[in-house]
Amino acid sequence: MTININKFQKDLKIKFKNKSLLIMAFTHKSANQKNNNEKLEFLGDRVIGLVLSKKLFDLYPKENEGVLDKKFASLVNRKICCDIGWSIGLHDYIIIGNRRKKIDRNDEKIISDCCEALIGAIFIDQGFNYVNDFILRIWKKNIDKSVITILDSKTKLQEHSLKRYKKLPLYRLISSEGPRHYPVYKISVSIIGSKKFVGEGNSKQQAEQDGAAKLLKYKNIN
Report, as residue numbers or ranges, the catalytic residues: 45, 116
CA distance 207 to 212: 9
CB 207 within 8 Å of CB 199: yes
Q: How confident is the model at residue 97 (pLDDT cuts 50, 70, 90)?
A: confident
Model pLDDT, residue 51 = 98
SS3 193: coil
CA distance 118 to 103: 17
Q: Which helix (H) or strand (E) holds 115?
A: helix 108-126
CA distance 114 to 48: 13
| pLDDT tens per residue across span 23-76 | 999 999 999 999 999 999 999 999 999 999 999 999 998 888 878 888 898 899
| Domain 153-219 top-level CATH class | alpha beta
Percentage of the chain with pLDDT > 70?
96
Mean pLDDT of the chain: 90
Domain residue spans in the chain? 5-145, 153-219
CATH number for the region 5-145 comes to 1.10.1520.10
Q: Is the pLDDT reported for residue 100 higher than 70?
A: no
| Per-position b or e across 53-68, b if 16+ CB within 10 A of its CB | bebbeeeeeeeeeeeb
